[in-house]
Amino acid sequence: MNTATLGFRAPIRDSIEAIARAGFGAIAPWRRELAGEDVTAVARAIRDAGLGVSGYCRSTDIPAATPDAFRAGLDLNRWAIDEAATLGAACFVMVVGGMPEGSRDLPGAREQVREGIAVLAEHARGAGVRLALEPLHPMYAADRACLNTLEQALDLCTALEPAHDGAPTLGVAVDVYHVWWDPNLFRDIARAGADRRLLAFHVCDWRRETRDMLNDRGMMGDGVIDIPAIRAAVEGAGYDGAVEVEIFSAADWWLRPVEETLAVCAERFATVV
Amino acid sequence: MNTATLGFRAPIRDSIEAIARAGFGAIAPWRRELAGEDVTAVARAIRDAGLGVSGYCRSTDIPAATPDAFRAGLDLNRWAIDEAATLGAACFVMVVGGMPEGSRDLPGAREQVREGIAVLAEHARGAGVRLALEPLHPMYAADRACLNTLEQALDLCTALEPAHDGAPTLGVAVDVYHVWWDPNLFRDIARAGADRRLLAFHVCDWRRETRDMLNDRGMMGDGVIDIPAIRAAVEGAGYDGAVEVEIFSAADWWLRPVEETLAVCAERFATVV
């Protein structure tokens, strides 16, 4: 269970308890929830609740308007990678950032991402943390992530880490919301699996009438995505990690009691995922 | 000038006059504007105003929930293709449709598109009309067009019309709004040009803070797209048709006087396109 699904309304310890009580096996917390917390103590609380950590969300944007800002962003990411190690997270989720404010240089932003991830991969390897590059839906290319297809993410993985021992530091997070439309989706899931790059799998749904580009994701089953087909492809390609629910829903699920949202997620898992 | 830029507020003859008066060289009208009109007379009015017809918008959705509805859609498209011929349009713009209401079968919708375009290509060839398959931004994959990348559109063109005499019936419309994010954009523009498939080129801009998924396109220069780079690629690949402005903008440009919108378009053409 990605804590974003709960709308960031409660302290992390409450979310840990609620998620464990609802019967889920793992949690994916956000950095904002750990600000001011003793990360080691949170890691212990998660373990004590019987939960794994399917991922740690998420990277600071890499592309920056100045070299100083670029370096500062990398420092924040190194810090977060160390926290991911403390948490024992299956991966650190890399939402790489879009173009710096005022820029029209998309290739330049992508080049900064390449440079930044090359640096961070070194650090992550030392920390024993795997980096899950998450291609975001193309509608976020300007302001959130200039990594927009699985193909692009995998090309980056193989360019920066061409050889590995079966457990590469660089891999991908497959979120059905971001990739469901991709004509090359099944080809690229297979490619990712063959190279052991499948590090995370996120589910939610795409509402046919999407009202907001950021916070109107649907509950599994309430949209148009053939989630079982994508899940079968991901698991058929060798992924055996958590199936993580991540639903940004300001107008619906975030307004409901946490227990209700968790119960509906569990029910949908049994029926439509 | 695509008449959508003017917000569909005036009768087609007024738009023809306004566009010609503003100094543009061609118009792309919509079917809704010709409903109830004598298309031959409209074609004459366009010619008399000194305008070309850069395209005719747009196809009826192809994917349908039933075989009857599928056939009925093709009939409407055949009718529209004949109108495009009467208008002397450079192409008929194919926005192919998304998934039928209630469907989660994206591959099925894409297969229907393939079947439908195969049929329509025959008709178009007979009518002397070229079909411009327009890949739409992936955020429209559910409800507007399941054709979402240039690569996918070109694969369809070459599958259905592998050989041609230099003037294929099937080609693509490149709209910067839909394709600017694509990591393979420049590769696929070159591919389209090499196979003479570039039939239309549309410009507008992507606002960094997009407020609405359908009707919040930006005026050229007000967004993040490097329009000159894409234009240079399209023209470098051999495209010598119109550069067409298509801006859906319910909260901004559609509220302004038509003359103002046209004047700003002309000014931006001279400075940022």
Residue A91's pLDDT is 98
Rounded CA separation B113/B60 (Å): 11
Domain residues of chain B, as ranges? 3-271
Burial B153-175 (b: 16+ CB within 10 A, else e): bbebbbebbeebeeebbbbbbbb
Instruction: Return mean pLDDT, chain A.
Output: 98
Mean pLDDT of A245-270: 98
Q: Does B272 touch chain A (CB under 8 A)?
A: no
Q: Taking the CA of residue A217 as centre, how many other CA atoms within 13 Å lie in the half-sphere pointing to its CB? A: 24
Q: Which residues contact A233 (CB under 8 A, 6 or more apart)?
A: A185, A186, A189, A190
CA distance B44 to chain A (A): 40
Cis amide linkage into residue B58, ω under 30° from 0: yes
Residue of B nearest to A212 (CA): B212
Confidence class for position B3, pLDDT limits 50, 70, 90: very high
pLDDT of residue A271: 96
Q: Which of residues 246-265 of B touch A (CB under 8 A)?
A: none
Q: Find the mean pLDDT for residues B55-77.
A: 98
∠B225-A59-A32 over CA atoms, to 5°? 115
Q: Provide the pairing of β-strand A56-57 with B131-133.
A: unpaired
Q: How many CA atoms lie within 13 A of B136 on its CB side?
A: 20
Q: What is the pLDDT of residue A95?
A: 98
* Segment A110-149, tens digit of pLDDT: 999 999 999 999 999 999 999 999 999 999 999 999 999 9
Q: What pLDDT, on a 0 to 100 scale, did the predictor assign at position B163?
A: 96
Pairwise CB contact (< 8 Å): A206 & B142: yes
Q: Round to whole Å and give the CA distance between B93 and B80.
A: 10
Three-state DSSP class for residue A263: helix
Decide: B63 and B113 in contact? Cβ < 8 Å.
yes
Nearest by CB: A137 against B139, B208, B209? B139
Edge-first strand order for the sheet with B131-133 is: B56-57, B92-94, B131-133, B170-175, B198-203, B243-245
Q: Give backbone dihedrals phi and psi of B27, rounded to 5 degrees, phi first.
A: -130, 150
Residue type, B89: A
Cβ-defined contact of B138 to A213 (cutoff 8 Å): no
Q: Does A215 touch chain B (CB under 8 A)?
A: no
Tell me the sheet residues that pair with A219. none
Q: Mean of the pLDDT values across residues A196-217? A: 97
Q: Residue B218 gets which letter from DSSP?
A: B
pLDDT averaged over chain B? 98
The answer to whether B170 and B101 have CB atoms below 8 angstroms apart is no
Q: Is B65 on the interface with A (CB under 8 A)?
A: no
Residue A170 near residue A81, CB atoms below 8 Å: no
Say if residue A22 is exposed, middle or buried (CB neighbours under 10 Å; 0-12, 13-18, 19+).
middle
Instruction: Kindly report the nearest CA distance between residue B120 and chain A, in angstroms.
Output: 22
The predicted structure's pLDDT at residue B118: 98
ipTM: 0.97
8 Å CB contact of B181 and A213: no
The sign of the torsion formed by the CA atoms of B85, B86, B91, B93 equals negative
pLDDT digits (tens, 9 = 90+) for B109-133: 999 999 999 999 999 999 999 999 9
Q: B87-102, pLDDT tens digit by residue?
A: 999 999 999 999 999 9
User: Which fold would CATH assign to domain B3-271?
Assistant: TIM Barrel (3.20.20)
CB-CB under 8 Å, A110 with B181 = no
